[in-house]
Amino acid sequence: MFIDTHCHLTDKQFENDIEKVLSCSKDFGVSSFITSGYDFASSVQAVEFALHHQGVYASIGVYPEFAPSLDEQTLEKIKDLAQNKKVVAIGEIGLQFTENCPPKEEQIKAFEKQIELAYSLKKPIVVHAREAMGAVVEVLEKNREKLVYGGTMHCYSGSLESAKRLIDLGMYISVGGVSTFKNAAKLQQTIKALPLEKILLETDCPYLAPHPYRGERNSPAFIPTIAQNLAKIKDVSVDEVAKVTTKNAQKLFKLEGMDAAQI
């Protein structure tokens, strides 16, 4: 059994065949999915989708690109939405210091507000970092006391040093399709050095499909491909990867108490 801890099942690329995608993924052993919002509207979509699909859960929040939209009214709406039983995390949230993104200070303010929100709701966070890993780690360390419910660094591609600092904060490292790329030797060495007990699996679908499907639409059905690559990196069986990463996800997102039929 596998859990795809980060996907975007309401993306337009899935609008014509999402039921087939979910069925196929379950045939490949992916039993649960956490579909992520990136602003308020997509967060509502994620929750609605989760409510109508067995084994699907939602993470909700405002992505750094949309940090300016996180006013007090929107923050309160996200807080209300988070009361839904299918919401298991706040995210994806974080920082992105690429061209044409909002000012760093505005992003950091939105990031910290949502860390505080997650803490008040007793929920973990799902963190995004692009060209901003150092700043993300600094913000998380500054807010260490608010990370008691944990979190995950989604689609990790940083250094071993940063990964160790994140784990020290109680964070998990999420491994996706990028770890299978032919040019990912450095990332693979980082993953090799990390304890399996602190690793989660994700696709970030429909983006970042793993090798040998790179360039295609990604799907939760590719989780076993990512798991096989992780097993090779860690020199363990795929069954061990499935067992440990599923247990990790259940623990972080509090899925253990869910009805077994839902998981």
Round to whole Å and give the CA distance between 192 and 85. Answer: 35
- The tens digit of pLDDT for each residue in 196-238 reads 999 999 999 999 999 999 999 999 999 999 999 999 999 999 9
Q: Is 71 exposed, middle or buried (0-12, 13-18, 19+ CB in 10 A)?
A: exposed
Round to whole Å and give the CA distance between 31 and 29. Answer: 6
Q: Is 31 exposed, middle or buried (0-12, 13-18, 19+ CB in 10 A)?
A: middle
DSSP at 158: S
pTM for the model:
0.96
Q: How confident is the model at residue 256 (pLDDT cuts 50, 70, 90)?
A: low
What's the CA dihedral at 252, 256, 258, 263 to 10 degrees? 90
- Give the rounded distance of the alpha carbon of 31 from its chain centre: 16
- The tens digit of pLDDT for each residue in 57-111 reads 999 999 999 999 999 999 999 999 999 999 999 999 999 999 999 999 999 999 9
The structural architecture, per CATH, of the domain 2-252 is Alpha-Beta Barrel (3.20)
Q: Is 182 exposed, middle or buried (0-12, 13-18, 19+ CB in 10 A)?
A: exposed
Structure token digits, residue 192 = 């090799």
* Structure confidence at residue 223 (pLDDT): 98
